[in-house]
Chains A and B, each alone.
Chain A
């Protein structure tokens, strides 16, 4: 057996691949293969029983050549520096690919909120800020919620930060509730972003969106808004799948005349489970969960979990399929990726397709910093502009250099960051 899986090494390997394509110099590589700064901190917290427990935390700033670092804070019992390093690096590329002026960072605390009371968690949040307050902030490093952290955690952190700095800095943290400095349009952002990229891809292929059909996997937030916008633009979504809690399996709900997201939402429980019987009543066919991938459609939108398009399921993709737009994170396995590539299916890779979320976080920060909040339309319009130009940059590079879209996205992200570093004389 070789050495165990290490996410940071994997991230470095991905970077190396893009760096090779770009022919990056050694200094740039040395700079970008590792984070610029790392803070390893100890957070003493008075527990409910009166004892003090010390938690270990991190903030890792991978690169801020293009702007303040941006990235979530994770609470995880098995958090490791390498995981956080990898995630910080991915944030750098993610911000660069949509061309927003932010760098990459990530933070975390080794803890399991399941075993902590709310008061103790507040102690961790405030303690974390106290330790890194000097090194983060709206112009340095902007955190956000992530694994097992919530808007509530963010508000505790923001409050502590503002107490320490003696002022109001809503732009210090994103992911806040609307009314506490959050941005409108956040719910729609990711799903809409997916469809903006699809729309542009179809234009490039000279296909009228009104003639296309799509199959969607999942019926969560991303899928719902993707279906809505796609339908609004004239396309037709023929099916979507959803998880059935009672049966512990998923089903595909098909309506060849077109899925209506609002109609399905009316018969959906809180976690996206669609009521089978009611769906039948509305004229939907209820098919096995995996059926979404084998539909006669032009577009597939996997927007549920990772590893859904596999070497096995990719074989079921119909010849009519032209585009796979990755709404979820990592829905395609490398094996399936190869199949897509061989068949010439146009893939809009996850960190481009679902970058609507991070873009909206950027908008939240912008609005907070100027203390002026846009209407939802304005947010979504600006999102459209950003996503559209991001798409075209990647697409053009892919065309020009004959790259697979996923590789092109990486290359463009790395090149933008490398250039910023060079311009500043860092490499």
Chain B
């Protein structure tokens, strides 16, 4: 369809086809050794691709008496033919047939360009015959003048063809050759330069169509053709033929990829258009590695920007690894609205890039060759916009600016609205195709948000990921899939992400969310579907359990079943910890510890109920342990006090004796070297530590996610100010420092190493442990640190460290072990080994101190000479006051707190006295991230709210009815350190009348329930009861139990709350309370 009806694109496409065809025929003909028969058969085979309707085209080649044609060829009337001549004599014909009629064009149904192509091909074949005819002559010539000359002839043929069929292209190549010669410093070329730059420039291609109407241009072109010829003559003289040929081939390919560049540069082209262009690119048998670097990178960068992300850093890395053809693979699994301009989002991009890096790695090719990724489909980020528009839900976008309690209240309704909305037909179709591809394998629907790209905003766990069993009739599966996507979409408007965005000033940034639909890795085991193991891996190990483990030895958290239990901290269970760089050093050594810290639960997909379930490992093994692939590498047998690898084990019958250790996986499979290689490679290529998710079906290892490790809140390196006044430093450390945020510290419990070493008897040594246990209960949770000599939790030799159990330290924020030099000997520290995994799961930081190291500060005077509040807090341990020091930091320093800044990147930690954080609510557990930088905070100060609440309760209470004598506020609310989930600790002194006490208790219960609901709406933290009431009887009050002691304490007394009647008198306010 020539003329006005043809679009520019179609024309370009045709030209590309012709070139493609010509190129391939040329490639075939250039195989000097192959027999002619074979070459001719191949030529007939490839010819159709050069014509407009390749599917309906076949070719026929007659050479002398021989005929080459496709087997099913039946001559038709719609034919184009050209003679093949050798030395002017016709020796055969080249014919092209259409199988069926097509609308008339320039020559019957054929285009004029096709005629030209046919003639050129016929000429080429003629030359081939001539070449062969002269084979013996050439052979002799070769002997005389060397192979270079024949190769020269080779490239010269290409240039010649080009001049005949594509003059502007020819000129372009010549121009590039000229530039090349100039750069190489060829003087003749420099002299030619002014003549080339004269008047005609610009790319080859579309201009040609207008040439015919512009005689001036034509003349110029003719002149240029002359110059071009000169260029090649110069080239022949100065450049090796091989190099000329390679360069020319690359430049020809460059020009052939023009259509793709154009599609990408035009912002108007939709993803579908780009996908089509990519298909053409592949169809043209182009490989971007054959293109010149600049074009290659341009193309890749443009594709990355369109499909993955705009983020400059990412593009910079990605363009080195993701080839054009890789995108084609991606486009085959993209679901998008019509004329989409969306992207696949952060999570998908990260994984996609990681996979390309792994595939293209040469260094680790052998180790990583079997790494897989699960089958993945993508819904582009504008899918959610399309969804909202399709259902007229635009109003919802504004909800993000509401108060957080309203957001929280409305959220369940939003979810319902979303779930009851429809997807546009294009999306439904796409999802349906995806489901056909997945068949009845379980899938996971994950969010892949665009905001995830932004450094410092991990959104980890903020948006939903939903597992689907994907079982049953397709209609049901599709409905479930759409339901899940709608729910994930709704999570954009959930209170947690909204609050998170508000804190980081990201509320005004438009949030679009891509969806990643991934096949769940695993196998069917009994009623369940699960991977044999899964987990997360980090380049940097922030939890070293041995000084021999370096930070860059990495960390793997490994669990049986779905990886959800490794990603989140589950409190009642433990993952297996491994340092891939030191797989022999295990966190747990004795059989007892191995059993105690073994994972006991497993997350699975129940294929019968179609639900995500958590079950006991033992139950799973009992039901179908033997059929779990790779179970022999997952468990060990625990018997006779020992632990050994399973041999001849009946997994079902012996389920109770099996412990998950992954011993086999570590020692007898390539798992550890693979993970190590993955971490190393990705860290090196992505330019920073990474955080991976992986899973295995017991056979293959799959990569599920890859992102920079710094995205995780907990592994952020805390900035340490350059100049801290020395008097404010309490201690510093410069060995084995890990990253980790520590909340503001109000109390220091310091067990003096000298004092401890001097204790003569066992009982007193044990008492120190008990005193710490008591303080652990009395001091505000996560706002005190424990500092002591040697090994905390030492069981055997108690004098080597304070003997405590985990429950006696579990409220501490940091555990500090001090190794003081004794003579010329510095004792080993435990690195928290006695309860290491408990520390990890509870986010309690561990820090070893070496006060005698050079460059380390240790303000022993502050620790020893500050007022000791031990006797006030725990009067029955007053006799230990020489050894156990409890420092109330704000009281001692006039309102300052202790900040422990830990930076593993510098291997440095500093504990300094500083004013408290303005909000005073840096709770580790609350997944609080780094400072937001000017975001609008929608949450109030939890401390102020709690004080207010407490004052209201006191003011409202009926003093006579309840026999109330006094009410005090203690703990975090009073200290200004309350977080969103903190309790309000009230001490209530009332008459010893059971009836009145009962009434008061009921009344306070009502408040408590009501307040926790309010608190939930404000913060999203569910607390069963917000009031923690400690009743004091008269006798308690006079005897001075620990709570009464708080009321009467001189240092850090409870805050008295004014009652309604004349009772009680407000305590003097402290500076930091104001």
Contacts and interface: CB of A to CB of B under 8 A. Distances in A.
Contact of A246 (B572, B642, B828, B831): B572
A33 to B, nearest CB: 20
Interface string B759-797: 111110110000000000000000000000011001111
Chain A interface mostly: loop
B591 A150 contact: yes
B572 A270 contact: no
Contacts of B807: 248-249
Interface string A72-89: 001011111001000000
Interface string B722-765: 00000000000000000000000000000000010111111101
Contacts of B791: 77-78
A261 to B, nearest CB: 15
Contacts of B591: 150
B183 interface: no
Interface string A200-230: 0000000000000000000000000000000
Interface stretch (B22-30, B188-196, B348-356, B593-601): B593-601
B640 A151 contact: yes
Interface string A266-285: 00011100000000000000
B605 interface: no
A5 B642 CA distance: 33
B806 A248 contact: yes
Given A4-B758, A5-B799, A334-B763, A78 B828 contact: yes
A125 B598 CA distance: 26
Contacts of A175: 641
A115 B585 contact: yes
A10 B806 CA distance: 28
B796 A116 contact: no
Contact of A78 (B639, B641, B755, B790): B790
Given A76-B796, A115-B585, A5 B640 contact: no
Interface string B547-588: 110000000000000000000000110000000001111110
B545 interface: yes
B585 A177 contact: no
Nearest to A151: B642
Interface residues of A, number: 47
A113 B592 CA distance: 14
Q: What 5 pairs across the A-B complex have the smallest Cβ distances?
A: A117-B584, A248-B807, A151-B642, A115-B546, A1-B758
Contact of A5 (B582, B761, B796, B831): B761
Interface in A124-180: 145, 147-148, 150-152, 175, 177-178
B1017 to A, nearest CB: 28
A177 B763 contact: no
B758 A270 contact: no
B827 interface: yes
A416 to B, nearest CB: 27
B548 A151 contact: no
B641 A151 contact: yes
A118 B584 contact: yes
B833 interface: yes
B800 interface: yes
Interface of A: 1-5, 7, 10, 48, 74, 76-80, 83, 112-120, 145, 147-148, 150-152, 175, 177-178, 182, 186-187, 245-246, 248-249, 269-271, 307, 333-335
Contacts of B595: 270-271
A365 to B, nearest CB: 16
A151 B810 CA distance: 32
Given A77-B828, A114-B833, A148-B589, A333 B797 contact: no
Given A1-B758, A120-B584, A270-B595, A150 B641 contact: yes
A161 B126 CA distance: 87
A152 to B, nearest CB: 6
B590 interface: yes
Contact of A114 (B546, B596, B639, B640): B546
Nearest to B583: A117
Given A5-B762, A175-B641, A150 B584 contact: no
Contact of B760 (A3, A48, A83, A118): A3
Interface residues of B, number: 55
Contacts of A307: 766
A53 B510 CA distance: 59
A186 B642 CA distance: 13
A383 B784 CA distance: 51
A114 B766 contact: no
A334 B798 CA distance: 17
6 contacts: A1-B758, A113-B590, A115-B547, A152-B642, A270-B598, A270-B600
A125 to B, nearest CB: 14
A3 B828 CA distance: 22
A120 B591 CA distance: 17
Nearest to A186: B640
B770 to A, nearest CB: 9
B661 to A, nearest CB: 12
A80 B799 CA distance: 12
Contacts of B759: 1, 4-5
Contact of A271 (B596, B643, B762, B797): B596
Contacts of A150: 590-591, 641-643
Q: Which of A113, A334, A335 has the most CB of B within 10 A?
A: A113
Contacts of A249: 807
B760 A5 contact: yes
Of A83, A151, A178, A334, most B-chain CB atoms within 10 Å: A151
A335 B764 CA distance: 12
B682 interface: no
Contacts of B831: 114-115
A177 B642 contact: yes
Contacts of A10: 762
Nearest to B801: A78
Nearest to B618: A270
B19 interface: no
Contacts of B547: 115
Contacts of A245: 572
B567 to A, nearest CB: 20
A420 to B, nearest CB: 30
A120 B585 CA distance: 10
B644 interface: yes
Nearest to B589: A113
B659 interface: yes
A118 B668 CA distance: 14
A116 B827 CA distance: 17
Given A3-B758, A113-B590, A248-B806, 20 more contacts: A1-B758, A2-B760, A4-B757, A4-B758, A4-B759, A4-B760, A4-B799, A5-B761, A78-B827, A112-B546, A112-B833, A114-B546, A115-B546, A115-B585, A115-B831, A150-B590, A150-B643, A152-B643, A177-B642, A177-B644
Contact of A270 (B585, B596, B642, B796): B596
A202 B588 CA distance: 43
A291 to B, nearest CB: 17
Nearest to A146: B796
A376 to B, nearest CB: 13
A332 B590 CA distance: 27
B806 A114 contact: no
Contact of A112 (B572, B587, B592, B828): B828
Contact of B585 (A80, A116, A178, A187): A116
B388 to A, nearest CB: 43
Nearest to B594: A150
Contacts of B794: 78
A5 B833 contact: no
Contact of A83 (B589, B761, B797, B827): B797
A117 B553 CA distance: 14
Contacts of A270: 595-596, 598, 600, 638, 659
B548 A115 contact: yes
Contact of A333 (B589, B763, B833): B763
A20 B590 CA distance: 41
A143 B258 CA distance: 81
